[in-house]
Each structure stands twice: as structure tokens, then as C-alpha cells.
């Protein structure tokens, strides 16, 4: 069942250039029935947002900065989020911000059984990331859109600055997740692996490493082995993964 999602955007914290890619990404997870953006619209700094609001049916919420140094926008978003929660009109939230002030809000929504998706820039503090069920980096969405414009040269345009390298820590995370789900022969269903990776690390996304899907990411790593099997009806291929045995690792009898 698709989620009915409340999308709450911190206008003081998110660049307007990402709005198209952001809304397309949110649509993958459900129906954004509520779309609001918060900020002081008398501030010229938010001027770039104004021309994209109508195009994306996002409702602007005016919030004056009553006290210098205090972020009134955060408070308004949190109050509205709780009102929406108790209305029972949605079963999912998307909090769009790179601000760790929303960590407690994400935690509270999940305690209520609500799915929480976070979207923000790579500078987002880790406490907010891990408080969400899933966290998506805006930079990856923008890069993906740029690649769609000129697909033929997308590979050449990929730079080390925009794509994370697979670190030993990443490899350990993937390997231990495969081991957690493996059968007696060491094989794990890749769909289950992807779900567990998301639970362990909400910002895990194959696009962070330059791959659109998890299968090509896993296939690119020499330590892992992929096997495609037909389902019981022979209608589709099921993908399984295992950790390759190291040479000499088998016990001699």
C-alpha cells in the first residue's frame, strides 16, 4: 500500500534548485498529500523559491523570525508535524532539511508507527540521518538529473567529488548483512539484503557510489558473487548474493 506522505520543507535550509528532483524522488515512496515549505517570505534570500512553489503545488507557510539567533521555522514545522500526526490523514512523513534540530521529531514520529523519510545535503549531521527510516542526499538526486540530460556522457561526468568511494567500512557493512541473512550455503536474497542495509544505515544508497541500483553495486565488488535464479513459476529472475570463499579457506579433512 502506498504511503500518504506529509512533505515538510525547511525553506531556510534547502536550496530551491533541488525541488524538481526532490518531488520526483518522494513520489517513488507514496502520494505527497500535504506539501508545505516554511520560512520568512519577507526575506529576499527565499526569493528563488517563490517561482517553483506553484509549479509543484507546495504551500508556503510564513514564519517570522521573532528573535535574532532563534530559528522560528524549526518550531513551526515541528508544531505542524504533530498536528498532522494526530489528524491521522497520513502514514508517512518526509522531512526535508539538513538541520539536526529535527532529530527528536523524526524519532517521535517513528515511535508513533509512522514511516519517516529524510532528505538533505551531505552536510546533514548523523543523529538526524539515523533517526529516519531512510535518508536521501540531495546531491545524488541532482547528479542523477544531470546525467539524464546527457546520458551518453554521464559516465565521463561522474567525478570522485560527487561519488563516494566504497570504503572498508562499507564493505564490512555489506558483508555482515549478507552473513546475517545467508542460508546454509551462504546465499542471501538480494532484496532482503537491501532492506536490512537500509535498516542498519538509513543513508545507504547505491547512488552514493555511482550505481542506480543495488545489483550493479554488489556485482562491481570482487568479494561478492551474484546468482540469478528463476522463481517457482519461472516468470522472473530472483537475485542472490554470497561472499566468495577465499582461497585456502576451506578446511581440509
Whether the full predicted model's pTM is greater than 0.85, yes or no, is: no
Instruction: Tell me what pLDDT residue 175 has.
Output: 95
Model confidence band, residue 71 (pLDDT cutoffs 50, 70, 90) = low
Instruction: Tell me what pLDDT residue 164 has.
Output: 79
**Res 67 pLDDT > 70:** no
Lowest-confidence region among 27-36, 209-218, 235-244: 235-244
Nearest to 95 by CA among 202, 238, 169: 202
Model confidence band, residue 150 (pLDDT cutoffs 50, 70, 90) = very low
**Res 163 pLDDT > 70:** no
Kindly report the average pLDDT of the chain as a whole number. Answer: 85
Residues 32 and 94 sit within 8 Å (Cβ to Cβ): yes
Work out the average pLDDT over 139-157: 53
Q: What are residue 171's phi and psi, to 5 degrees?
A: -65, -40
Work out the average pLDDT over 106-124: 96
Instruction: Tell me what pLDDT residue 159 has.
Output: 39
Tens of pLDDT, residue by residue over 193-205, are: 999 999 999 999 9
Model confidence band, residue 2 (pLDDT cutoffs 50, 70, 90) = confident
Work out the average pLDDT over 30-42: 92
Q: How far apart are CA 253 and CA 250, in angstroms?
A: 9
Residues 214 and 190 sit within 8 Å (Cβ to Cβ): yes
**Res 162 pLDDT > 90:** no
Model confidence band, residue 173 (pLDDT cutoffs 50, 70, 90) = very high
Instruction: Tell me what pLDDT residue 1 has.
Output: 55
**Res 93 pLDDT > 90:** yes
Q: How far apart are CA 100 and CA 105, in angstroms?
A: 10
Q: How far apart are CA 185 and CA 129, in angstroms?
A: 34
Cell numbers describing residue 77: 514545522
Nearest to 194 by CA among 212, 214, 175: 214
Residues 242 and 186 sit within 8 Å (Cβ to Cβ): yes
Residue ranges of domains in the chain, CATH in brackets: 3-154 (3.40.50.1010), 168-243 (3.30.420.610)
Work out the average pLDDT over 237-248: 84
Amino acid at each position: 500500500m502506498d504511503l500518504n506522505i506529509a512533505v515538510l520543507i525547511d525553506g531556510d535550509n534547502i536550496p530551491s534548485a533541488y525541488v524538481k528532483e526532490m518531488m520526483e524522488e518522494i513520489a517513488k515512496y507514496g502520494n505527497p498529500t500535504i506539501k508545505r515549505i516554511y520560512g520568512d517570505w519577507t526575506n529576499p534570500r527565499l526569493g528563488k523559491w517563490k517561482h517553483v512553489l506553484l509549479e509543484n503545488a507546495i504551500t508556503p507557510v510564513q514564519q517570522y523570525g521573532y528573535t535574532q539567533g532563534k530559528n522560528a521555522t524549526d518550531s513551526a514545522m515541528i508544531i505542524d508535524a504533530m498536528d498532522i500526526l494526530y489528524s491521522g490523514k497520513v502514514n508517512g512523513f518526509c522531512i526535508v532539511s539538513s538541520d539536526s534540530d529535527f532529530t527528536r521529531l523524526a524519532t517521535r514520529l517513528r515511535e508513533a508507527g509512522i514511516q519517516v523519510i529524510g532528505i538533505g545535503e551531505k552536510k546533514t549531521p548523523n543523529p538526524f540521518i539515523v533517526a529516519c527510516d531512510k535518508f536521501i542526499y540531495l546531491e545524488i538526486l541532482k547528479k542523477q538529473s544531470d546525467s539524464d540530460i546527457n546520458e551518453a556522457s554521464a559516465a565521463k561526468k561522474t567525478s570522485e567529488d560527487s561519488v563516494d568511494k566504497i570504503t572498508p567500512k562499507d564493505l564490512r557493512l555489506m558483508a555482515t548483512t549478507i552473513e546475517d541473512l545467508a542460508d546454509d550455503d551462504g546465499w542471501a536474497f538480494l532484496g532482503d539484503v537491501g532492506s536490512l542495509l537500509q535498516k542498519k544505515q538509513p543513508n545507504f544508497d547505491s547512488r552514493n557510489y555511482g550505481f542506480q541500483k543495488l545489483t550493479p553495486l554488489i556485482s562491481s565488488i570482487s568479494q561478492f558473487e551474484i546468482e540469478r535464479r528463476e522463481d517457482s513459476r519461472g516468470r522472473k529472475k530472483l537475485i542472490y548474493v554470497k561472499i566468495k570463499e577465499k582461497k585456502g579457506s576451506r578446511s581440509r579433512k
